[in-house]
Amino acid sequence: MIYSSQANWGGYIIMGHKNFLAEVLSFWDKLSPGEQEMLIANTVTRHYRQGENVHGGENDCAGVVVVKSGELRTYILSEDGREITLYRLFSGDICILSASCVINRITFDVHIDAEMDSELVIINNEVFAKLAEENVYAENFVLKEAVGRFSDVMWTIEQILFMSMDKRLARFLLDEAARTKSDSIPLTHEQIARYIGSAREVVSRMLRYFVGEGLVEQYRGGVRIVDKKRLRTMVT
C-alpha cells in the first residue's frame, strides 16, 4: 500500500509538471514524445522563502527557472556591494539568465532572490542545453527569452543613467499600479529604492515631495496614488 501511494503521488507530480511545462514552453508541441519525457524527468519543484537566494552568480547555474507562484528579483552587485535590480519575475515568468551554462556568452554575475514565498519549477540546465542544441524550436525559445531579458536590463540601465529621480519614481508607481490593478502599492521605501536602483533616503525625500504636491499619500508600509493623471504627465 505504501509503494502504491508513493507511485500515485509520483504520477501526480509528473502529470503536474507535464501540464505546467506545456503551458509555459511555447515550443512544447514541437518536441517529440521522447524529448517531452526527458524534460519532465529532469524538472523539479522547489519552494523558497522570502529573502532566500535562488541563484548566486556566474559560478552558479540553477537551471531554467519558471515562477509557478510568488515573485523573484534579479539583480547585480557593484564592487562596493550595491544591489542594482535588473527586473522582477512573477507567476508564469521564465528566467533563462539563471541558466548561464545554457547561454555560454553570459559573463556577468546575476543574482536572484525570492521577494516573497515562492514556488518554482526548475528545469535541469544540462538537459535544457542539450535540447536547445538539438531542437531548433527550443533554441529559438532560448534566444527570444534572452533577448527579452536583456531588453529589460537595458531599459533599467537607461533609466538609472538618463532619467531623473522624480520621473523614475513616478514611472515605477504607475507601472506597479498597472501591474497589480490597484492604486495602493504595499511596498516600503526600502523596497522601492531597491527596485529602482536608488537609496532609501532619496526615495523617502522624493515621496515626501510627491505627498506635498498631492500626487500620492503614504500609509504604514505602502504608498497610494492620489493623482494618477499628474503622475503620468511627469513621465511623458
Question: Using one digit for the tens of pLDDT, what is the confidence trace for 122-178?
Answer: 999 889 988 988 999 999 998 898 888 888 888 888 888 888 999 999 999 999 999
218's grid cell? 503614504
Which whole number is the average pLDDT over 173-184? Answer: 95
199's grid cell? 537609496
Query: Distance of CA 32 to CAs 36, 92, 135, 153, 236, Å?
Result: 6, 23, 10, 34, 48
Which whole number is the average pLDDT over 12-33? Answer: 84
> Strand order in 94-95's β-sheet?
43-48, 118-123, 64-69, 94-95
Q: What is the pLDDT of residue 60?
A: 65
Mean pLDDT over each residue of the chain, to the nearest integer: 86
Enumerate domains of the chain plus CATH numbers: 2-161 (2.60.120.10), 163-235 (1.10.10.10)
Percentage of residues in the chain having pLDDT higher than 70: 87
Q: Are the C-beta atoms of residues 43 and 17 closer than 8 Å to each other? A: yes
Which whole number is the average pLDDT over 60-76? Answer: 88
Residues 6+ positions from 176 with CB-CB distance below 8 Å: 185, 187
Q: What is the pLDDT of residue 10?
A: 44
Q: What is the pLDDT of residue 58?
A: 57
pLDDT tens for 78-129 read 777 788 899 999 999 998 876 655 565 555 678 899 999 999 999 998 899 8
Q: Are the C-beta atoms of residues 67 and 92 closer than 8 Å to each other? A: yes
With CA atoms as reference, report the closest residue to 28 among 54, 66, 69, 73.
66
Instruction: Give how far the C-alpha of residue 205 lies from the chain's centroid of Cα atoms, to the nearest Å.
Output: 28
Global confidence as pTM: 0.81
Query: Distance of CA 207 to CAs 45, 92, 124, 204, Å?
Result: 39, 32, 43, 5
Q: Could you tell me the pLDDT band of residue 235, with boundaries at 50, 70 and 90?
A: confident
Q: Could you tell me the pLDDT band of residue 8, with boundaries at 50, 70 and 90?
A: very low
Please state, in angstroms and rounded to a whole number, the distance separating the CA atoms of residues 27 and 21. Answer: 10
Residue of 50 and 82 predicted with greater confidence: 50
Kindly write down the DSSP assignment for every residue of 149-217, as one continuous string.
HHHHHHHHHHHHHHS-HHHHHHHHHHHHHHHHT-SEE---HHHHHHHHT--HHHHHHHHHHHHHTTSEE
Q: What is the pLDDT of residue 77?
A: 84
Q: What is the pLDDT of residue 191?
A: 94
